[in-house]
Amino acid sequence: MSPKLWRKAGPGEPDVELFTSRADFDAALAQFAAPGRVAVVMTMGALHDGHASLIRAARARVGAKGLVTVTVFVNPLQFGAGEDLERYPRTLDADLEVAAAAGADIVFAPPVGEVYASGEPSVRMAAGPMGEGYEGASRPGHFDGVLTVVAKLLHLTRPDFAFFGEKDAQQLAVIRRMALDLDFPVEIVGAPTVREADGLALSSRNRYLSAPERSTALTLSRALFAGRDAGRQAAPEHSGPENPGSPGGLPLVASPEAVRTAARAALDEAAALEPPLALDYLALVDPSGFTEVADDHTGEAVLAVAAKVGTTRLIDNVRLWFGAA
């Protein structure tokens, strides 16, 4: 039987179909093939507007007749000892609503035993040096766990496009690299970070913040914006996204030194707040290898920050473009 094209559910039918078993999900995929127009958005659930914007981007990319799968799976392999695996929010009913409203066709939410059907995998992906610094330094093995589950979910969902948030910049970089280095037949698409009106990047972990902690957490984005704007001031001739030298409208900056100094100053001030911001790292990296940029760097860079507020660890970043002097 030749595969049917995927069709959106008709009136009265559910907007999104939930599968928890690989066999049922696989049968649905086989039935509703949409050649060249299959997208996946991988998540650990607790869906918020940031995930919704990824799902909308996936829908826009594959069109109304394409297939958009959202995976919801809290992957134990990427949590270290003492991390928040147990307390990570599980909100499947609400996730289904968000996924449906944003235009997903399928939610695939398998239990651990379905994904790791033969137990904890003894053969895993290795992120290598790209996964050892920054997030990887405070979370050893984290990116190996991420890549292992992403590789598995790519095999299970067989997408043409896989969407990931730019907020997890190092994760996006290692996933891109895995797809490139190991010839995964998929286009990895990064989608912009979604922010609250005051600048706080949306994150499933924001729900752990008390009001005073949230106020301290705001200094993450403020520091990043300060760095970006200081870089711009250092090069007024390259000021602004309207400058044709900046692909994708990225803020065009000139001086890594000015960017780092301004961001660092804002973070230092935040260390004196109550509750304080406990900085883990501030980094200005080349996203292709996730290594610190040199002073004469040209092209894309990511200004990234990680810090703890209370017991909650938060990350954020902005993308920049260093124009030739």
Closer by beta carbon to ligand PAF, 54 or else 254? 54
Query: Count of CB atoms within 10 A of residue 89's CB?
Result: 16
Closer by beta carbon to ligand PAF, 171 or else 246? 171
The one segment of 39-47, 87-95, 125-133, 215-223 that binds ligand PAF by CB under 6 A = 39-47
Both tokens of residue 16? 């999104």
- Spatial separation of the C-alpha atoms in residues 75 and 148, rounded to whole Å: 10
Q: Which residues pair with 303 in a beta bridge?
A: 284, 318
Which listed residue (46, 48, 70, 75) binds ligand PAF by CB under 6 A? 75
The DSSP symbol for 111 reads: -
**202 marked ligand binding residue:** yes
Of residues 129-188, those binding ligand PAF (CB under 6 A): 146, 149-150, 168, 171
Annotate 250-281 with DSSP letters as a single string.
Answer: PPEE--HHHHHHHHHHHHHHHTTSSSPEEEEE
Q: Which residues pair with 300 in a beta bridge?
A: 321
Q: How far apart are CB 125 and ligand PAF at their closest, in Å?
A: 11
Parallel, antiparallel or unpaired: strands 187-191 and 161-165: parallel
* Catalytic member of 51, 142, 238, 297: 51
Both tokens of residue 83? 């991390």
The H-or-E segment that residue 7 falls in is: none
Closer by beta carbon to ligand PAF, 44 or else 309? 44
Q: Taking CB under 6 A as the rule, which mask of x and - marks residues 76-115 in contact with ligand PAF?
A: --x-------------------------------------
**36 marked ligand binding residue:** no
Q: How far apart are CB 43 and ligand PAF at their closest, in Å?
A: 5
Q: Which residue is listed with tokens 């008390």? A: 210
Closer by beta carbon to ligand PAF, 139 or else 238? 139
Of residues 198-227, those binding ligand PAF (CB under 6 A): none
User: Does the active-site annotation cover 51?
Assistant: yes
Nearest Cα neighbor of 220 from 140, 316, 130, 125 is 316
The H-or-E segment that residue 212 falls in is: helix 211-233
Coil vs helix vs strand at 149: helix
Q: How far apart are CB 163 and ligand PAF at their closest, in Å?
A: 10
Catalytic residues: 51
Where along the sequence are the contacts to ligand PAF (CB under 6 A)?
42-44, 75, 78, 146, 149-150, 168, 171
- Cite the annotated binding site for (R)-pantoate by residue number: 78, 171
